[in-house]
Amino acid sequence: MEKKARESVLVVDDDLDFLQIISRILENKGYGVATAPSAGEAISRLKERFYHAAILDISLPDADGTELLSRVLEMQPEIIAIMLTGHSSVQNAVKSLNCGAFAYLEKPLDPGNLLSVISRGLEKQRLVLENHQLLDELERHNRITNTLLGVSQAVAQSLDLQQIIDSALGKLADCTGLEASFVYLQKDGRLVLMGHHGLSRAMAGAMKKELDTKGGTIGRIFENTRPFVIEDMTKFIGRDLQFLVTGGCRSFAGVPLAILGESIGVMGVATNFAIRFGPNNIELLTGIGREIAIAVRNAQLYEEASSANALRELDSMRTEFLANVSHELRTPLAVIKGSANSLLQPDVIFDEQTRRDFLVSIDKDADTLTRLVDDLLIMSRLEADALEVSRRPRPLADVIDFIRDRLDNLTTRHQLRVDIPDDLPPVNVDEQRIGEVLTNLVENAVKFSDDGTAIVIGARRDGQEVIMSVTDEGIGIPGEIHERIFERFFQGDGRKTGRRKGTGLGLAICRGIVEAHGGRIWVESQPGKGARFSFSLPVD
């Protein structure tokens, strides 16, 4: 039985007897030996396979030994080349070593010396090859690390779930060149499609928007928490990835998005040409999946925490709202009750003016109660999406006239000015509802501005809309709450202004009514510089 050689040696010499002797010596030491009597035959053998070492005679019939040495090292740079000569000279030795020979030996050879030189050379070769492998492994790890770092940085820039998925898949394509990718996340017992990259419109349209967590290819990856590879999709018959087959993809790999061994989703990638997803590829994709999973989980935890905080804040706002409503109800009721009791005293006779003052107080506070109840009813209808809006074309002047008495009563201590151009077109509105918006905004301006300051109702055209505004010279509103002031129950800190806070429904009602008209409402303000509330209305 032929002994399998560990390492192979090519011996090149035109002395056939020498070739035979050297072959026997090397074979007895376990080397595989090939011989060549000329440079030409040596080149042919080198083209056929790799040799660990080559023993080259410096004088060959068809080539100079150093020329052959250069050609050998060009063909197989890792080979250990040993030069032989029967006519030693310093010049030949130096030339050979300069050309890349490992050693230079003289004939006749000492077999022990030759074997020692070969052994040292092969040991050096093993070290060189191991270093190359280590460098290749280091470069591979660097590529993986850089890719993972790129994905990690991309997903760390946001806590928005959709932005995380889109950024991750975009970075995945940039770093790996993979044409198509997608992500499903587990939600309420189903796998929900959250994003994709590199898919045609037809492929994206054919994707299942939801999948079972236990069926199909994607479901098995999720359930088993293990990668899955399809090297040739032309032979694939599963339905959940049929869109890839139809779209011309050839190879697929899917990895679980998992944290601490628990799947939260699946990432799939595909190529338009057949490739083998080897262990290194799967390691990289698994690492990317892990980075995405961590970012997704962080976003989910943040969303859960934000929701919990929002619920707590809403609960607190509702509690404060109920307290404020109770106060708003008790105050006018106390006045009404007190005035009525006074008038009903049988043993007291009031003059006409005093009686009138009591009745005016009752009438005024009854109006206050009516407005409060109306606000509560409107808010409940807005929340139920049941607010009736009867729109018709109306000139803005008619809308103002409809509520002019209310506005005048609200602004007895302020300078109310109405600045509406005559050439504005009619607006398609429910004048009662828009009147409520303007009344609320003017009442708000009165509450937060000093006596004697101006309040201006203005209007201008902007394309197919008319923009109405209420401007005051009051305390202003910090920028960070410009959006929040339109939320139900939200109120500024009345302790800082010394002003009564109210129910916190007025601006929320304004927004609901304006949006029911197809418009929008916003505020422009800075602390200490007044405020301008504006809202848009569609032109007839």
Do 126 and 161 reside in the same domain of the chain? no
Please state the length of the chain.
Answer: 540
User: Is 473 part of a structural domain of the chain?
Assistant: yes
Tokens 């010396």: give the residue. 113
Give me the amino acid identity at 446.
V
Tokens 């898949």: give the residue. 169
- HSE-CB for 429 with a 13 A CA cutoff: 31
Q: Burial, 197: exposed, middle or buried (Cβ in 10 Å; 0-12, 13-18, 19+)?
A: buried
Do 277 and 397 reside in the same domain of the chain? no
Average pLDDT, integer, range 125-143: 71
Domain of 401, CATH number, reads 3.30.565.10
Alpha-carbon distance 246 to 237, whole Å?
A: 11
The per-residue pLDDT for 125 is: 83
pLDDT band at 145 (very low <50, low <70, confident <90, very high): low
The per-residue pLDDT for 495 is: 36
Instruction: Provide the sign of the torsion angle of the four alpha carbons 242, 244, 248, 251, taken in this order.
Output: negative
Please tell me the least confidently modeled range out of 35-39, 90-94, 125-129, 509-513. 90-94
Helix, strand, or coil here: 57?
strand
| Cβ proximity of 398 and 440 under 8 Å | no
Do 170 and 118 reside in the same domain of the chain? no
**Planar angle of CA 403, 409, 412, nearest 5 degrees:** 135
Average pLDDT, integer, range 286-298: 84
Domain that residue 481 falls in: 392-538
Q: Which tokens belong to 33?
A: 């030996």
Q: What tens digit of pLDDT does each residue of 404-446 get? A: 998 998 999 999 999 999 899 999 999 999 999 999 999 999 9
Q: What tens digit of pLDDT does each residue of 513-540 get? A: 999 999 999 999 999 999 999 999 988 6
Mean pLDDT of the chain: 83
- pTM of the model as a whole: 0.43
Tokens 């806590």: give the residue. 159
Pairing, β 53-57 against β 80-85: parallel
Do 202 and 111 reside in the same domain of the chain? no
* 28 has pLDDT over 70: yes
Q: Please count the structural domains in the chain.
A: 3
Do 453 and 522 reside in the same domain of the chain? yes
Do 179 and 297 reside in the same domain of the chain? yes
Average pLDDT, integer, range 323-338: 70
Q: What tens digit of pLDDT does each residue of 186-233 get? A: 998 899 999 999 999 899 999 999 998 888 899 999 999 999 999 888
Strand partners of residue 132: none
Alpha-carbon distance 523 to 526, whole Å?
A: 10
Q: Burial, 476: exposed, middle or buried (Cβ in 10 Å; 0-12, 13-18, 19+)?
A: middle
Select from 304, 327, 362 the last residue of a domain. 304
Instruction: Provide the sign of the torsion angle of the four alpha carbons 176, 177, 178, 184, taken in this order.
Output: positive
Do 118 and 181 reside in the same domain of the chain? no
Q: What tens digit of pLDDT does each residue of 247-276 get? A: 888 899 999 999 888 899 999 999 888 888
User: Is 271 part of a structural domain of the chain?
Assistant: yes
Domain of 81, CATH number, reads 3.40.50.2300
Alpha-carbon distance 113 to 414, whole Å?
A: 114
User: Is 110 part of a structural domain of the chain?
Assistant: yes
Question: Residue 462's Cα: distance from chain center in Å?
Answer: 36
User: Is 330 part of a structural domain of the chain?
Assistant: no
Alpha-carbon distance 125 to 53, whole Å?
A: 9
Select from 273, 304, 335 the last residue of a domain. 304
Q: What tens digit of pLDDT does each residue of 32-47 get? A: 999 999 999 999 999 9
Question: Residue 364's Cα: distance from chain center in Å?
Answer: 56
Select from 130, 145, 166 the last residue of a domain. 130
Alpha-carbon distance 105 to 111, whole Å?
A: 11
User: Is 182 part of a structural domain of the chain?
Assistant: yes
Compute the CA torsion angle 36, 39, 43, 44 (nearest 10 deg). Answer: -50
Do 171 and 283 reside in the same domain of the chain? yes
